[in-house]
Chain A
Amino acid sequence: MLKKTAINKATELAAALMEKGTLIAPVKEDAGFNFREISDAKQVDLNFHNTIISPKSAFFPQTEDFVRYQTGKSILEATPVELNIKPAFLFGVRPCDVKSFEIMDIHFSGTGLVDPYWQKRREATTVFGYAFDLDKPAEAEEFYQTLGIGAADPEGSDIFMVKKDNDLLMKAITPRGEKLLTGLNIPSEASADDEKYFDDTVAAGRNFKTRSTCVDARATAKKFEDLFHNTDFWEKMSHACLSCGACTFVCPTCYCFDICDETLFSRGTRRRVWDACMFTDFTLEASGHNPRTKVYQRLRQKVCHKYSYHVRKYGVISCVGCGRCTRYCPVNIDIFSIVEEAVKA
């Protein structure tokens, strides 16, 4: 089913979604765009290229409360924080970020024990994908083409949106999307012309040019395995690295977290907080032993984890080429260049 609405009526659409549940959509802030829970439909702003923080925060928020406890009282009195999850709509996710959800699904709910927080949020959320604007060239940092992701790939979204002049075409991709779109009376039916435009855009998206290099998951994984002991290579790649967490915090596929207890007087909360493998104390054991004390070891861990370990463990590269890590790196380290170098090496 394909429907359409004028872009300047997006506010009405947002309001209609807000009646059905929580709406998470891009909001313009002074540093750039970010996905936020919407309290006023007017906040929704689709004039964005991509957000600073990836939409993973909709399912895996930076802080997640597990348990509330009181110190000095028995553990029996601690109460788990119940997940009170309402239907949610994640609106305006770029195709590369949609892809990241699938990669994260494998880790959080597809293998081993299931992470209940991720899974429940994921189940309750309808994802509205949104094609990149194909009239504008890709930004210098982006390289999703390398990873086989098109600029208008609808896969993974429940509803996929394409901008056509001043209209927003919305197509239901999954049964859930179909059901939602049927129930919404804001968008009107689209014409056959629109259908064609939608399909053409999807097709054009596949050939949309970003930075690109030949990356075969298995071969790249092997390449990085072989490169692991090449300290020269890693030192060369990492001499600018500051070991901050900017790249991992904006990344759509970084999932490392810390579990910490925060107590104020006698009341406290056990919560998980995003952590970064780039931090010095990430692997510091209580004994004082730390297997990754050097900058190059930590950068190597990050890159190899995405391009090698993840492939071997889960079969996919854990990177979607959104370019956020490059864009927000204080010293302009570019993961694409590292991969390119590695493939060449």
Chain B
Amino acid sequence: MRLILPIVLAAVTVVLIAVALTSANATGKTVGISAGSSFLTPKPTTPDQALSNLLLNAKRRNWDEAFNSVSNAQSPNKKSFIQDWTGSYGSLRAFSALEGYDIRPLHITNDEAQMRVRLHWTTPVGPIEDVRDFRLAREGEIWKTVWPKSDMPIVPSQVIPVTYLRWDLVSGGSDDEWGAKNIDAPRVRIVSMNPLDFAEGAVVLGEVVNEDTIPAFVNVTATLVDGSGNAIDEETSFDKIDHILLPKQVTPYRIDFPKVKFKDVKNVRMNIKATLVPASADPVIGVMNQKVDPDYQGKAVLRGDLFNESGQTVNIPHVIASLYDNNGKVLWVADGYVERALLPQTSAPFSIEIPKNMASKVQNFHVVVNQYSMGRN
């Protein structure tokens, strides 16, 4: 007993550990900083394993180990390799963390492999999926990933003259005399509203214009009312709107009501709230080369390039588009965040997916660009 029991317990422990290691999802979810390294890294004897090792190390930000699994380690320097993963200039990628990935082989030979990876990023503005193709090459017994050269734009030094235009707001104290604060809220108007059922819920979408001569901070709220006059749900335009509207500017808006169908709705109560805010007329971002194209999966996407006409870096651009039918009615409002920062006088591509059932009806579109610039919002 003196020896048997310890041996049995030790053996059972080892077996249990082995079972845990061989079971699915062994890595589990990590909370907080994805730190530390694995005690057991499998040897990259297959393209799949090699890419998995690279992605796991990238996920855990073990840059040394990740860079070691790159084939052409001389070609990209380590700094640009890391920058590819971590982003730069306060872009959305710089705020993101790799949360997961799905690897799919496209083409594998004895010495080369082409893999397609769906990267799942967590970002401050919600989860983002990024599809990326990787090339791997065999080096002796192991496989390594061939890392492409970075295509980050290089901005030459230059001076860009700017005529600043901004509105400041002076608000008096809370004990001001009644009537002394006679500044009205900006005058804004909902120019169109289109309720429709979509996927797993109801959607209200349209456009809003600022009819005033000062900037407005706008939020659109919609309340769905049933036949008895009771509110079924109330939602806001949230991030499907450009909240700061300069005079005469138009923005699309979309309000989603998950798990509601319009057959249960008698009435939609719209409420637009506009407030005075300090605002700037810069930066001006042009939306160039807009066209609808199919993507690699055959889905229709609205593509184009954002061009930063100003002299300041836009860290996170957000593209919102109204899609119109041939009568000029807003069919859908789609949006997407651009992962790369928009440096002064440079372009960055964007693409927004158009729902399958609407792609054929879209005749025209209106794209607006919302933006987050560090320290200026």
A complexed with B: no
What is the interface of chain B, defined by CB distance below 8 A to chain A?
none
